[in-house]
């Protein structure tokens, strides 16, 4: 095989692998700030088992909601979440809201 063709094949294979990795639904954010009264959201697709690991410097509100606003799981106001949530078919998002009056720093790991 000629070197140019070999390079094209390698690039195509890598593109396919990267596309597959992007579809695996994985979020890792360390030291993410959430200002007072604001929220952060991360979307996912079901059906899937979603592992939710979140830690915060002060209590935050954490929920898993559907695209139409239906709450699937409400963790309440917490400093830490470590759970697996079974997502039904559809589009879902993990919502972290800062109800306090100071900026919160969170570490987030979400994966299916």
For the stretch 91-101, pLDDT in tens is 999 999 999 99
**pTM exceeding the 0.85 threshold for the entire prediction:** no
pLDDT score, position 21: 47
Say how far apart CA 91 and CA 83 lie, in whole Å: 19
| Residue segments in the chain with a per-residue pLDDT below the cut of 70 | 1-24
Q: What phi and psi, each to the nearest 5 degrees, are found at residue 103?
A: -70, 135
Beta strands 39-66 and 104-111 are: antiparallel
């Amino acid at each position: 095989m000629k070197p140019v063709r070999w390079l094209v094949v390698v690039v195509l294979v890598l593109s396919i692998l990267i596309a597959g990795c992007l579809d695996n639904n994985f979020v890792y954010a360390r030291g993410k700030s959430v200002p007072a009264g604001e929220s952060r959201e991360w979307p996912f697709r079901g059906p899937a088992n979603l592992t939710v690991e979140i830690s915060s410097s002060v209590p935050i509100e954490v929920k898993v909601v559907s695209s139409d606003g239906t709450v699937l799981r409400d963790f309440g106001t917490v400093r830490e979440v470590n759970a697996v949530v079974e997502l039904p078919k559809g589009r879902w998002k993990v919502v972290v809201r800062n109800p306090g009056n100071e900026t919160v720093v969170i570490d987030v790991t979400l994966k299916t």
